Homo-oligomer: A and B are copies of this chain.
Amino acid sequence: MHITERFAKETARDFALRTLKHNIIILELAPGSLVSENELASEMGLSRTPVREALIELSRAQIVEVYPQKGSVVSKIDYHMVEEARFIRVVLEKAIVELACECALEDDLSLLEKNIKLQEFYIQNPSPDKLLELDNEFHLDLFKMVHKIQTYYLMDSMMVHFDRVRSMSLHTIKDIKIVEDHKAVLEAIKNKNKDQAKQAITKHLSRYIIDKDEIQKEYPDYFK
């Protein structure tokens, strides 16, 4: 398993959760993998409880399945669950940009603007990691500016389903497209044009449509 450094003041539980999520997304803990509290705990240098608590949290989002007295497994890809995760995201983000059209302040807009400027910088000076980070931050900023942070966390808890399929995807999306999408969203919010904003965010989120059949042919064991 891929273990990164534990942050200062990060609790053992948060560290376990972060590590598990990361390894599930990069497929180091592949769909269908058997995991046990004991094994994971010793790999991470923790005791069983914080690992157990992390597994419980992941199991609430159906990312792992815990079978009492039998063991725990990383859930196989359930394509329906991937689509449900996307459904939740599209529905909520459409409502969020709609609200943003109503109540965005100058400061909010310039925060988004600044983010996009940085994205353009990392297109010129390529850094896919930074761009991914800025993408996530852009969306979080949208939720923050309409004061719906809890909504973001709820949605985010389902995104692992999506992220790990994305990392199996055979063709990647051109970063420049993503930046253009973000610009379109910002533009619509500036114009207070709700339909335009909803359309732009929907277009953006549907870029991540996954070629299910190709991936399933490539990784048949990972699917339910």
Residues of A within 8 A of B (CB): 11, 49, 53, 56-57, 60-62, 68, 80-81, 84, 87-88, 91-92, 95, 147-148, 150-151, 153-154, 157-158
Q: List 10 A-B contacts (CB under 8 A).
A: A11-B68, A49-B49, A81-B150, A84-B148, A87-B95, A87-B148, A87-B151, A88-B151, A91-B95, A154-B158
Find out whether the CB atom of A150 lies under 8 angstroms from the CB atom of B154. Answer: no
Bound-state CA distance A158–B153 (Å) is 12
Of the candidates B53, B60, B80, B150, the one whose C-beta lies within 8 Å of that of A62 is: B150
> Closest approach, in angstroms, between the C-beta of A168 and any C-beta of chain B?
21
| A-B pairs, 7 with minimum CB distance | A91-B95, A154-B154, A84-B150, A88-B151, A84-B148, A91-B91, A84-B151
- Of the listed residues A57, A62, A84, A157, the one surrounded by the most CB atoms of chain B closer than 10 A to its CB is A84
Residues of B close to A148: CB separation below 8 A: 84, 87
A81 (CB) vs chain B CBs: closest residue: B150
Bound-state CA distance A157–B62 (Å) is 15
Of the candidates B56, B61, B154, the one whose C-beta lies within 8 Å of that of A88 is: B154
> Closest approach, in angstroms, between the C-beta of A178 and any C-beta of chain B?
25
Of the candidates B53, B81, B91, B153, the one whose C-beta lies within 8 Å of that of A56 is: B53
Residues of B close to A91: CB separation below 8 A: 91-92, 95
Bound-state CA distance A80–B91 (Å) is 21
Residues of B close to A153: CB separation below 8 A: 60
